[in-house]
Amino acid sequence: MSNELENEKLSGYGAIELGGTRTICAVGDASGLVLNQTVIETTTPDETVAKILDYFKDKDLKSVGIISFGPVDVRQGSATYGDILNTPKIAWRKFPLLKTLTDALNANRDEKLPVGFDTDANGSLLAEVTWGAGVGLNDAVYVKVGKGIGLGAMVNGKLLHGMLHAEAGHIKMSVEAGDDFKGDCPSHGTCFEGMASGSAIAARWGKPARELNDKPEVWELEAKYIAQGLADIILTLSPQKIIMGGGVLHQKELLPLIRKNVVEYINNYIDTKELRNINSYIVPAALNGSQGIKGALKLAISAEEAAMRN
């Protein structure tokens, strides 16, 4: 390949968002701009990885950031760092995602690519506090209510991992009076995800959420469970802001109902300016669905910065 053609390679930070049904690959710049992006179906690990590598083969990367559905091992230094853990997606269970991707991306390189890795929810939060609805905050959470429910959390300016990572989709719910739905979670029945995820809505009402938008009773009940989950998160993590994403939130009347139920439950016990201004406390993501891939991009940018310092 001539030097001229070599120079035409798209150059920037690599970003990969491995989702349960689709995977996004992108190249972006240091300002968070996505210069190029492709969406591929998430199928088996082998097929999906091959498509990811195919996308990046003509890109010139400074570093790479990867976010993934969970549970996933985000503990640097762990023997299984970067592996998918006990996911219900059997084909992906114990798959060494990070190692497979970085080994392949580094194959023809003299110097190893700096790499950042986290959960999809932490990645989305990172993008939102960097370029979206949470700029300037040190203590914030991202709650995604889609097919499942995920929590990303930042405390004192750093993403929360701890023992593994947050799994607040699985906190136990108090079942509303008169509700006889048994919950949709194979592990925990009536947990937050089992009662309020997109899958739970479909299981409870017999059709997907997008076909239920003329049924107010669906959204009144949904708002109660989401509010219960958010109240638990507020009382435990004390975030300065809750940023919401995921397909279920596309239902427009939902967010005002969630806010009302959160305020009612907290019942002035915590009296802060944030809770008094509930409309700016519980807010939709500002990055219009690109918070995931931009989070991966931010992880790549930070990984390169960390490598330059060392």
Residues at the site binding a second copy, with contacts judged by CB under 8 A: 71, 85-86, 139, 151, 153, 155-156, 158, 160-175, 187-188, 190, 228, 231-240, 265, 267-272, 274-275
Nearest alpha-carbon partner for 243 in 118, 153, 120: 153
Smallest gap from residue 168 Cβ to a second copy (A): 5
Which two three-digit tokens encode residue 61?
């990367």
Residue nearer to a second copy on the CB measure, 3 or 277: 277
Smallest gap from residue 245 Cβ to a second copy (A): 18
Residue nearer to a second copy on the CB measure, 57 or 94: 94
Cα–Cα distance for residue pair 82/76, rounded to 1 Å:
8
Residue 275 CB-density burial (10 A; 0-12 exposed, 13-18 middle, 19+ buried): middle
Q: Is the dihedral of CA 59, 61, 67, 71 positive or negative?
A: positive
Residue nearer to a second copy on the CB measure, 28 or 116: 116
Let me know: does 294 contact 34? Beta carbons within 8 Å.
yes
Residue nearer to a second copy on the CB measure, 7 or 268: 268
Let me know: does 218 contact 203? Beta carbons within 8 Å.
no
Smallest gap from residue 51 Cβ to a second copy (A): 29
Smallest gap from residue 58 Cβ to a second copy (A): 38
Residue nearer to a second copy on the CB measure, 23 or 222: 222
Let me know: does 290 contact 281? Beta carbons within 8 Å.
no
Cα–Cα distance for residue pair 19/265, rounded to 1 Å:
33
Smallest gap from residue 247 Cβ to a second copy (A): 22
